Amino acid sequence: MILGFEQYRSLKGIRKPDTPEAKRQNTPVKIPTSWNHLEAGILFGLRLPILIFREEGIEGGVFDPGVSDVYIHEMPSAQDSRTRKEALGDVFLKWQAEVRRHYYGV
């Protein structure tokens, strides 16, 4: 399970400096820990079941939609509706089944 929490915030800067794709950033950018990407790489490499959650505004690498076949979930909140909480229960059950299948070879 990968949890993308904000670890650093850049208030302004330049993305991809000194390249043709350089772009000035004038709005805050939330950055997760770099360890998230290492953890994800290990899980992908070992072909283990992966469950990814991210806080609102977290992006880049493993948190970019479409980078892998893993769905990126928004971080649950205490204010989530009953429907959302039930849906998250289903997500955890599916992931648990994948973990069991991998571990027990069932």
Is the confidence at residue 69, as pLDDT, over 90?
A: no
Q: What is the pLDDT of residue 68?
A: 79
Confidence of residue 22 (pLDDT cuts 50, 70, 90): very high
Residue ranges of domains in the chain? 2-77
Phi and psi, residue 14, nearest 5°: -130, 125
Residue 61 three-state SS: helix
Residue-level length of the chain: 106
The pTM assigned to this predicted structure is: 0.85
